[in-house]
A and B are shown apart, each in its own frame.
Chain A
Amino acid sequence: MRRCPITTYIIRRLLQAIPLLIVISMVVFALISLAPGGPMSAFEENPNLTAEDIARLEEQLGLNEPIYKRYLKWAGHIVQGDWGYSNATRRPVLTEIGDRLPNTLQLMITAFIVTLLIALPIGILSALKQYSLFDHVATFFAFVGQAIPVFWFGLILIIVFNVWLNNPVSPSQGFAFSNLWNCGDCKPLMPGGGMAPYGVDDPTLGQRIQHMILPVTMLALYGAGTYTRYMRGQMLEVIHLDYIRTARAKGLSERRVIVRHAIKNAITPVITVMALELPLLFGGALFTETIFSWPGMGRLFYRSAQRVDYPLLMGIVMINAVLIILFNLIADIAYAFLDPRVTYD
C-alpha cells in the first residue's frame, strides 16, 4: 500500500510528540512541586490563619499528598479534558486562560505584523545598499533596538508620551502647538496603559488602537532589530550568488532580479524563523504587559508562578508545549514546500 510520504511524516511526528509531552509535563510538575515556599506561603503572614486552617486548606487542595500521586491525579484529569481549578482564584483554569488569551493575541499579533512591515523592507534595502548611509543608520537602530532594556524603554515611553506631552487640543483654548508641553487642562497625549479608556462603556475602535500604540512600539522596536539584521544577512548572502549574476546577464530588469530571484530565496529561512516564533505570541510579553497594564498571558503566568498555583501553571505550560511542537512541525513542512531540495524520510 502506498501512502503519501508527507502524511506518514506528519503522523509520525505527531506520535513522537506524545511521549515528549508526557516528559515535559512530568518535569514541569516536579519543578513546580520542588519550588521552595509552596502554594501556602501566601497565607503564612496572616495572623488570623492558624496552622490548623492552613493544614485543612492543604488537604482540601490535595497538597499534602506525595508528588507522584498528585501528578497522576492531574494527568488523569487532563486526559479527560478536565484542566482543573486555579488554587488562587478557584476559577477553572480554562476560564482564566480564556480571559487573557484574546488580549495577548490582539497585542502580540499586531506587534508581530508591525515588526515585519518595518523590518523586512528595511533589511532588504539595507542589503541592497550595503555600506550606504541608509544601511549604517538602519544597522545602528537595529542594534539599539536590541540593546535597550525593554523595561526601561517602556517606562520612558510612558514618561514622554503620557506624563510630559499633552494632547495639543485643549478643552478651553482649542488647538495650539505649544499645548503639547505646556497646557493646564489638556489630557495626556497617549494613554499610559490598559486596553481602552476607563469609565467608558463602549470604547471605539479608534480608542482601542490608540491604547495599542505605545505597547506595540515597545515590542516592535525590539523585534524589528532582530528581523532587520536577519533579513539583511540573508539578502546579502543571496545577491552575491551565481544565479543572480546569471539573471542579470540574461538582461532581466534590476527590479525583476531582486523581486523574483533574490528576495524569494532570501526570505525562505526568515519564514522558518517566523513560524518558530509564532507559538511565542501566545505566551505574551511579560515586560510589555507589566509596563502597559495589559491583561495578558505573560502576567497571568507570572502571577501563578509567584503563587505556585500549579494547576494554572501546568495549564499554561502544556498549552505552550503543544503549540511549540505544532509550529515546529508546521515550520518543517513549510520549509519543504518552499525549498524542493528538502525531502521527508
Chain B
Amino acid sequence: MHHRFRFFIMLAAVALLALVISACAAPAETGGEAAAPAAAEEAAPAAEEGGATIIYALYQEPEMLNPLIRTQTAAGEVGHLVGEGLIATDPDGNYFAQLATDVPTIENGLVSEDGLTVTYPLREGVVWSDGEPFTCDDVVFTWEVATNPESQAVNTTGYNEIESIECPDDYTAVVHYSEFFAAFLGTFRDVMPRHATGDPADMVNWNYNWDGFLGTGPFVLKEWVSGDHITMVKNENYRDYPDKPLADQIIVRIIPSREVGKALITSGEIDILWDLTEADVPEFEDNPDVDVNIRPGPGTERLLLNLADPTLDATDDPLNNPHPLLGDLKVREAIQYGIDKQFIVDELLYGATTVGSSELSLGWAKCDIPVSEYNVDKANALLDEAGFTDEDGDGVRECHDCMYAEEGDPLRLKIQTTTGNQLREEAEQLLLEMMSNIGVELYIENVPSSELFGSWSSGAFRKHGNFDILMYTTSDTIDPQSQMDGYFSADKMPTEANGGNGFNYVRWINMTATDAIKAAGKTPVQDERKADYQIACEEIAKDIPHLYLYDRSEVHLSRSDIEGFDINPWDNQTWNAQDWTRK
C-alpha cells in the first residue's frame, strides 16, 4: 500500500519542482504592492516620460551584433539602432557623412587622383554611449580587427585592400590602399570602440557581440531576452540629444513567422512589421490602421540559365562543354520571348512592382535596358530554327538536327528554387504553362534554401554547376562592383582550381562584359564606371545568362500613428530610427 503512494509523491515532487523552476523564470515582484489590475496592464508603458515606445517586429532573431561577424539582415536592423559608421547611404542612393563630416570625393580633394588615399575628417565631440570619446583610433581599431587573421572576422571585404591608416590628429583618418578598391565608401559603414571590446584575437568571445554591444547611435541596448525581445532605450550621450531620438524606447520583438506578425500589427500589438512581400500588399490596402510602406529595391528575381554541361562537375571550359539545350543562344532567346513577365507581375505581385530587365535596376549605376518582348510567335520561330521541333506530337519539342543535343532528345528542363515560398511556387506554375505554350517542358525540383545556397565544400549543386534553371533573387549593394564581378566575370566560375570562388554559376564567358566590369573596378570616376556597367548589362541582355523576371520591392508595414519610418533600399530600415515617433 505504501509503495503505491510513493510514486504519487514522486510525481507531485516533479510537479512542484516544475513550479519552482517556472517561478524562477518569472522574476516578477509579487510581494509588496498589489498587482496592477489586468485591464490596465498593457496601457502606454512609457507614458511617464512623454516619448513613445515603438515595437519593431522581426521574424528572424539576430545571432550576434558584431558588424564584422554578423551576416543576417536582421542583425543589421538591430545593430544600426545602436551603431554608426563614417559614411552611410540614404534612400535615394546618395552617400551621406555620418561620423565623418564630408563624403570623400576626388572633387573635394579627400580622395587622391589615383584613388589610393582617402581622407575622412571626423566629427568632433562625438562620444560612445558610455561617454568615452570617439576618435580616429577607433577607425584604426576596426581595421586592425578585420584584418587580424586570428579574429575570425567574416565581413573583411575592403579591409584587406587597406595598407595602413594614419591619424594625424584625433579627428582625421587617412586611409592608404595598397590597390584601388572601387567600393571604398562602403567599408566603414560600422566602426567599433577599442575601449569596449577586447583583444582582436579573441573577438568571437567579446561580450560586445551580444548584450555588451554599444555604439555612437541614437539607442542603447538595455536588455536582450534570447528568442523574445531586445529592448533599446534612448542614448543620452547621442550627439543630437535631447532633440533626438524622438522615441524613448524601441523594442525589437522577435516573432517567429510573418503570418503571426500580420495578425499582431492588425490588433496593434506591434508597431512596425519588417520585410513582407508584394503579395501581402492587397490584404492591408484597405486597413485604415496600417500603412503599407513600399519602395522598389535593388533585388531582382531571375532565372539562372546554365550554359555548361550540367553532368560535369564544375567545368572550367563551358565553351567546349556547352549545355545540350541551354547552350544554344536561340533557345535562351526563345525562353525569354515565351515569358509574359507583365502577367506574372500583375497576377502574383498585384502590380506592386516592375518587370525585370537588368542586373542594376536602381541606384547611381542603374543600367538602361529595354524590357524584353513577349512574343510567342518569335519564340516558336527561334526554336524551329534551332532545330527543335515536335515531330512525335506529344506537345514537347525534341532535337532534330539541333546544335548540341542528341537527335531526338526532348526540350525538357529542370527548374529549381527554394521550397516553402508560395510566391516562387506560383511563379513556377505560370512559367510551366508559358513554356508548354512554346513546346518547352519544365519540371520542378525545389530544394530547401540551405541546400540551394550550400557551399562549395558541401558539394552544393549550384556551386558545382549541376542544374538547368535556377530561380531566386540577388540584390546588389549601392556599389555594384562585387556583385557584377562575382556573378558575371569569366574568372568567377567556381572551379576546382579556384577553390569554388565566385558566383558565375551559369559559367558565362563574355570577355567584353568581363573587361568592362574589371575596368569599372579600377577607377574612382563614377561616370566612367557607370558607362562600363552599361556595357556589361547590354552583353547580359544579348546573351541571357540571367533572365530577369521582376524587380523586388521593399515592403514593410507600420501602424498609421507611426511617423518617420522611411524605407531605405540600400541600408537597414533602422537607418533613421532617431526620427521614428508616434503621432
Contacts and interface: CB of A to CB of B under 8 A. Distances in A.
A41 B451 contact: yes
Interface string A99-125: 110110110011001000000000000
Contacts of B35: 204-207
A41 B454 contact: yes
Nearest to A61: B152
A171 B53 CA distance: 19
Contact of B228 (A45, A90, A195): A195
Contact of B30 (A110, A204, A292, A293): A204
Contact of B457 (A40, A199, A338): A40
A35 B458 CA distance: 9
A91 interface: yes
A44 interface: yes
A53 B257 contact: no
Interface stretch (A131-139, A218-226, A299-307): A299-307
A337 B4 contact: yes
A155 B260 contact: yes
A202 interface: yes
Nearest to A48: B157
Interface string B17-30: 01101101111111
A237 interface: no
Interface stretch (B110-118, B166-174, B492-500): B492-500
A237 to B, nearest CB: 20
B22 A110 contact: yes
Interface string B29-41: 1100001101101
A72 interface: no
Contacts of A300: 227
A193 B255 contact: yes
A45 B268 CA distance: 34
Interface stretch (A20-28, A162-170, A239-247, A248-256): A162-170
Interface string A273-317: 010001000000000011111011001100100111000000000
Contacts of A91: 210
B310 to A, nearest CB: 17
A47 B498 CA distance: 17
Interface stretch (A11-19, A140-148, A184-192): A184-192
B196 interface: no
B251 A198 contact: yes
B501 A102 contact: no
B190 to A, nearest CB: 12
Given A100-B226, A293-B253, A49 B71 contact: yes
B178 interface: no
A66 interface: no
Most interface-central of A46, A48, A191 (chain B CB within 10 A): A48
Contact of B263 (A110, A155, A205): A155
Q: Indicate the member of B6, B18, B268 with the most A CB atoms within 10 Å.
A: B18
Interface residues of B, number: 94
Interface in B496-540: 498-503
A332 interface: no
Interface size class of A (residues with CB under 8 A): 35 or more
A203 B266 contact: no
A64 interface: yes
A112 to B, nearest CB: 8
B437 interface: no
A187 to B, nearest CB: 5
A7 B41 CA distance: 53
Contact of A171 (B43, B152, B263): B43
Nearest to B62: A89
B71 A46 contact: yes
23 contacts: A37-B460, A38-B454, A41-B449, A43-B154, A46-B71, A47-B503, A48-B155, A51-B500, A158-B260, A163-B267, A194-B228, A194-B253, A203-B26, A207-B28, A207-B35, A207-B36, A208-B26, A210-B38, A293-B254, A293-B260, A295-B254, A299-B256, A337-B7
Given A37-B448, A100-B226, 19 more contacts: A36-B448, A37-B455, A41-B449, A41-B450, A41-B460, A46-B155, A47-B477, A48-B482, A49-B155, A91-B210, A99-B226, A102-B22, A162-B263, A163-B266, A192-B264, A204-B28, A210-B41, A293-B253, A295-B254
Interface of B: 3-4, 6-7, 10-11, 14-15, 18-19, 21-22, 24-30, 35-36, 38-39, 41-43, 45-46, 53, 55, 61, 63-64, 69, 71-72, 152, 154-157, 204-205, 209-210, 225-229, 231, 249, 251, 253-257, 259-260, 263-264, 266-269, 447-460, 463, 474, 476-477, 482-483, 486, 494, 498-503
Interface of A: 35-38, 40-55, 57-58, 60, 63-64, 85, 88-91, 96, 99-100, 102-103, 105-106, 109-110, 113, 155, 158-159, 162-163, 167, 169, 171, 187-188, 191-195, 197-200, 202-208, 210, 264, 271, 274, 278, 289-293, 295-296, 299-300, 303, 306-308, 334, 337-338
